[in-house]
Amino acid sequence: MAKISYTCSSCGETHNKWAGQCDGCRAWNTLKGQAPLSAGPGKTLGRKRGNAIRLVDLATEETAPSRTKAGVAELDRVLGGGLVQASAVLVGGDPGIGKSTLLLQAAARFARNGSKSDLCIG
Mean pLDDT of 95-105: 91
Count of other CB atoms within 10 angstroms of residue 75: 19
Domain boundaries of the chain, sorted by first residue: 1-38, 67-112
Distance CA 111, CA 107 (A): 6
Least confident piece of the model among 38-42, 69-73, 90-94: 38-42
User: At residue 45, does pLDDT exceed 60?
Assistant: no
DSSP helix/strand/coil, 111:
helix
Mean pLDDT of 66-87: 88
Instruction: Write down the pLDDT at residue 107.
Output: 87
Distance CA 8, CA 22 (A): 7
Distance CA 43, CA 49 (A): 13
Q: Tell me the pairing of strands 31-34 and 83-84.
A: unpaired
